[in-house]
Chain A
């Protein structure tokens, strides 16, 4: 039985608080279950997208509206933000110092907001081309799937801002630490969803 097997990875609340660790296990497991439920939600939206792929009704199709360079930038921003959140998790776990954690969180937030800015810019240019959701079944499905992910990222960003507020108010207490851990899971999970979007929607759409 090694050190690692006893402890939730990413958590270091000090060894004097086993009860807090128990509560953490429950919280993290609960959040995992929630994410899996969310994954099913995304799965069904992906399914809808795939079966609506050719229902363009004479309107613009994937090749007409996807801007692959912008998408690559979004992908890189999100990937970088996943890494910086990993760094934030490390400071959350090992360094008791709020400034380092705060710095990584703010960097992550900026990357997340940058992603959203590029995404919204893409949507607006699609609208300019007449590719609005009410144009066809395909566009409806596209504007269900990709903005749903964007909405999740927006929620994650709001959560991040609240976390910064909580750190300012309470410092690095147990609740904040647990919150950072859950948000980290959520953030990495959204990155995985983005891999699927990047591959299924954009790469496959342009292949």
Chain B
């Protein structure tokens, strides 16, 4: 159907590997029935992805909460556990809710990683410098 239509920007998409013509050509031979089935399968997959995300997020929230609530570990170990669980949960959210995968041909993942790099430089740098300063100036700043 629509693959006959000429789009002026088509070549732009070709060059960026996002060709819709290729996509139409790939999907056209499929019968309508099969297409419907593929779509339903995809929908089911996505639904379960959100469910998995919810379950994992719940576990990753409740476990550190319980550990803090009943203070099962010394403080320093608790902090490490909290940090690890938080990181895991952030990754779960990015994977299952924001639906960022490693196999996608999109700039999103690169963008997130680059932002994370800068965020780490800026936040870790801030904390390093300011705590060092506080140490040397005897300021009340120790967690």
Contacts and interface: CB of A to CB of B under 8 A. Distances in A.
Touch A–B, Cβ below 8 Å: yes
A5 B23 CA distance: 10
Contacts of B50: 83, 86-87, 90
Interface stretch (A14-22, A147-155, A158-166, A167-175): A14-22
Interface in A116-159: none
A90 B43 contact: yes
Interface size class on chain B is 35 or more
A157 to B, nearest CB: 18
B32 interface: no
Interface in B46-61: 46-47, 50, 53-54, 57-58, 61
A47 B123 contact: yes
Contacts of B82: 199, 203-204, 207
Interface residues of A, number: 60
Nearest to A44: B122
Nearest to B75: A207
A103 interface: no
A44 B123 contact: yes
A163 B49 CA distance: 25
A129 B21 CA distance: 65
B140 A192 contact: no
A68 interface: yes
Contacts of A27: none
B104 A36 contact: no
Interface in B82-97: 82-83, 85-86, 89-90, 93-94, 97
Interface string A1-43: 1011111111000011011011001000100110010011001
Given A15-B2, A54-B140, A68-B68, 8 more contacts: A3-B26, A39-B115, A44-B122, A44-B123, A90-B47, A195-B61, A198-B86, A206-B68
Interface of B: 1-2, 7, 9, 13, 18, 20, 22-24, 26-27, 38-39, 42-43, 46-47, 50, 53-54, 57-58, 61, 64-65, 68-69, 71, 75, 78-79, 82-83, 85-86, 89-90, 93-94, 97-99, 103-108, 111-112, 115, 118-119, 122-123, 126-127, 130-131, 134, 139-143
27 contacts: A1-B23, A4-B42, A7-B23, A9-B104, A16-B1, A25-B18, A29-B108, A29-B111, A48-B126, A51-B131, A51-B141, A52-B141, A55-B141, A56-B140, A68-B69, A82-B57, A83-B54, A93-B46, A94-B43, A188-B93, A188-B98, A195-B90, A195-B93, A196-B90, A199-B85, A200-B86, A207-B68
